[in-house]
Structure 1
Amino acid sequence: MSVRRLLPGVFALCLGALLARAVGLAVGVNHLLAAIALGVVLANAVGVPERLAPGIATHKLWLGAGIVLMGASLTLDAVLEVGGIVLLLVLGVTASTLLFVEVLSRNVAGLGDQLGSLLAAGASICGVSAVVAVAGAIRAREDQIAYAAATVLLFDAVTLVVYPIVGDLLALSSTVFGVWAGVSMFSTGPVVAVGFAHSEAAGQWATMTKLARNALIGVVVLAYASYYARGSSGGRPSVRTLWDEFPKFVLGFLALVFLSSLGIFSAGQQASLENAYRWLFLLAFVGLGTEIRIGQLRSTGLTPAVVVLAALIVASTLSLAVLTVLF
Structure 2
Amino acid sequence: MTGLRRLAPGFALLLAVGALGELVGAATPLNSLVVTIALGIALANVAGVPASCKPGVATHDLWLEVGIVLMGARIALDSVLAAGVPLLASVVGVVAFTLVVAEGFSRRWFGLQRRLGSLLAAGASVCGVSAVVAVAGTVRADEDQIAYATSAILLFDALTLFAYPAVGRLLGLSGQVFGIWAGLSMFSTGPVAAAGFAYSDAAGQWATLTKLTRNVLLGVVVVAYSVVYTESDSSATATTLGGTLRRLWRGFPKFVVGFVSVILLASSGALSAAEIDALTRASHWLFLAAFAGLGLDIDAADLHRTGVRPVTLLFVTLVVVSAVSLVGVQFLF
TM class by shorter chain equals over 0.9
Q: Residues 154 and 240 (structure 1 numbering): CA distance in 2 closer, same or farther, change over 3 Å?
A: closer
Alignment of 1:66-81 (within 5 A): 66-81=67-82
Please point out which of 294, 300, 320 is paired with 2:326: 320
1:237 aligns with 2:241: yes
Distance 1:123 1:85 in 2: 21
2:7 corresponds to: 6
Distance 1:168 1:286 in 2: 24
1:284 corresponds to: 290
1:45 corresponds to: 46
Distance 2:163 2:103 in 1: 25
Contact 1:75 1:258 in 2 (8 A): no
Distance 2:21 2:236 in 1: 52
1:18 aligns with 2:19: yes
Q: Residues 240 and 142 (structure 1 numbering): CA distance in 2 closer, same or farther, change over 3 Å?
A: closer
2:198 corresponds to: 197
1:212 corresponds to: 213
1:248 aligns with 2:254: yes
- One-letter amino acid of the counterpart of residue 72, structure 1: A
Distance 1:315 1:241 in 2: 27
Please point out which of 246, 256, 265 is paired with 2:271: 265
RMSD (Å) for aligned C-alpha atoms: 1.3
Q: Residues 96 and 46 (structure 1 numbering): CA distance in 2 closer, same or farther, change over 3 Å?
A: same
Give 1:240 deviation, angstroms.
4.8
Distance 2:226 2:297 in 1: 28
Distance 2:236 2:169 in 1: 54
Contact 2:130 2:251 in 1 (8 A): no
1:310 corresponds to: 316
Distance 1:310 1:136 in 2: 26
Give 1:78 deviation, angstroms.
1.8
Most deviating of 160-169 and 173-182 = 160-169
- Which 4+ stretches in 1 moved above 6 angstroms? none
Distance 2:198 2:35 in 1: 10
Contact 1:222 1:241 in 2 (8 A): no
Distance 2:217 2:297 in 1: 24
SS of residue in 1 equivalent to 2:237? coil
The CA deviation string for residues 224-257 of structure 1, in whole angstroms up to 9 with x for no partner, is 2232233324223134543332100000001111
Give 1:83 deviation, angstroms.
1.8
Give 1:272 deviation, angstroms.
0.6
2:60 corresponds to: 59
Give 1:115 deviation, angstroms.
0.3
Give 1:113 deviation, angstroms.
1.0
Distance 2:159 2:13 in 1: 26
Contact 2:134 2:248 in 1 (8 A): no
Q: Any unmatched runs of 5+ in structure 1? A: none
Distance 1:233 1:98 in 2: 23
Distance 2:162 2:79 in 1: 29
2:222 corresponds to: 221
Most deviating of 149-158 and 62-71 = 149-158
1:294 aligns with 2:300: yes
Contact 1:193 1:203 in 2 (8 A): yes
Contact 1:90 1:209 in 2 (8 A): yes
Distance 1:80 1:299 in 2: 44
- One-letter amino acid of the counterpart of residue 237, structure 1: L
SS of residue in 2 equivalent to 1:109? coil
Distance 2:236 2:117 in 1: 23
Most deviating of 125-134 and 220-229 = 220-229
Distance 1:217 1:252 in 2: 18
Most deviating of 208-217 and 134-143 = 134-143
- One-letter amino acid of the counterpart of residue 252, structure 2: F
Distance 1:83 1:206 in 2: 14
Scaled by the length of structure 1, the TM-score of the pair is: 0.97
Alignment of 1:145-164 (within 5 A): 145-164=146-165
Give 1:167 deviation, angstroms.
0.9
Aligned length: 327
